[in-house]
Amino acid sequence: MTTTRPSNKKVLLLDGGTGEELFARGLPDDRQIWSATALVHEQHHALLLQVHEAFLRAGADCITCNNYGVTPGVGFSDQEIAQYTAVAGHLAREACEQWTKLAPGATTPTINGSLPPLLESYRADRVPEHDEGVRLYAMIARALRPFVDCYLAETLSSVHEAQMALLGVQQAWNDADDDCEKPAAMVSFTLNSRGYLRSGESACDAVEKLLTFTDETGGEQWMPELRAILFNCSQPETISKALKELHDDKNTRTNLREHHVRLGGYANRLTTIPDNWALADSREPQALRTDLAVERYAEFVAEWVALGAEIVGGCCGIGPEYIASIHRMLQDQDQR
């Protein structure tokens, strides 16, 4: 893990949806391995570098490695997961180095390493057994370790998934034979239409459970520092509901502040995802909403910031033009 510290900007701006942007720019849509196509086939590496650069050019403070689709759930073996996850980390680091040369006066961007759902997105009922989940997350964390500044356990459907991811990072550090500073992590949950986790846990319950878990394990060697709890790959309206719930709960707000844990969100532009959705059953890409233009999405982000979000960005269907709009909006609000 690199030693870059988090940005001191008032609101940290993430990138957008790398996978959907790859497809928009011509990446073949393999419904089996999705965005991992850009890693498996070397001829697409240059396209992935272009997408990372586009988000940095738009104003993103950091990019997330494109390893979301490199999981056993789509058929990758342990060896392939380690191999292609490392490729994603290497290309993200290369993109940041190239950007630093192109924009020498800009703040050095940071890299988040994705810790994705292992078997299926949006499904709290489709997760590995606990020990196997920890083992798999440790393997992913180990492959990303040389390249990333922070881990991002994202699109998780339950607190249980988040706990497995954090324990996996801890195991990867325990297995390492070199000295390094304590790893950092952010956890991001996907939400249903009510603004609850897909498991049915409320936003406040999820936050309290996760903070309690970090209290219970925080003294253990190499347990990652939890920097933020976010909500992602959900419709922006549902993220507003979750952040409003947290904003209105004084005890939870105090608990977050005492733990130095920030809040945030990065929504998608997809139409509603059914509760029984599965990638293997999807014949074509999920349709994009037609009522979520760049300006409208920026309005949602402004609402999140007003509710206490300090980390924002975009997920599936949120391209560089959206990130650029958010960047300008935050500048106008003196949040950059």
**Can you give the three-state secondary structure of 262-316, one letter per residue?**
EEEEEECCECCCCCCCCHHHCCCCCCECCCCCHHHHHHHHHHHHHCCEEEEEECC
| H helix intervals, 156-276 | 159-175, 203-217, 236-247, 250-258
Rounded CA gap, 151 and 153, in Å? 6
pLDDT value, residue 7: 56
pLDDT of residue 175: 85
pTM score, whole prediction: 0.95
| DSSP character at residue 197 | B
Q: Which helix (H) or strand (E) holds 115?
A: strand 110-115
Q: Which two tokens stand for residue 243?
A: 């952040």
* pLDDT tens digits in sequence order for the chain, 336 residues long: 664 445 557 999 999 999 999 999 999 988 789 999 999 999 999 999 999 999 999 999 999 999 999 999 999 999 999 999 999 999 999 999 999 999 988 889 999 999 999 999 999 999 999 999 999 999 999 999 999 999 999 999 999 999 999 999 999 998 887 667 889 999 999 999 999 999 999 999 999 999 999 999 977 888 999 999 999 999 999 999 999 999 999 999 999 999 999 999 999 999 887 777 665 566 677 889 999 999 999 999 999 999 999 999 999 999 999 999 999 999 999 998
Confidence (pLDDT) at 280: 57
Other C-beta atoms lying within 10 Å of the C-beta of residue 326: 30
Question: How many whole angstroms separate alpha carbon 186 and alpha carbon 227?
Answer: 5
Q: How many helices (H) and strands (E) does the chain have?
A: 11, 8
Burial class (CB in 10 A: 0-12, 13-18, 19+), 104: exposed
Residues 6+ apart with CB under 8 A from 334: 10
Q: Mind listing the domains of the chain with CATH numbers? A: 12-278+285-332 (3.20.20.330)
Q: How far is the CA of 285 from the CAs of 123, 214, 316, in angstroms?
A: 18, 37, 11
Query: What's residue 149's pLDDT?
Result: 98
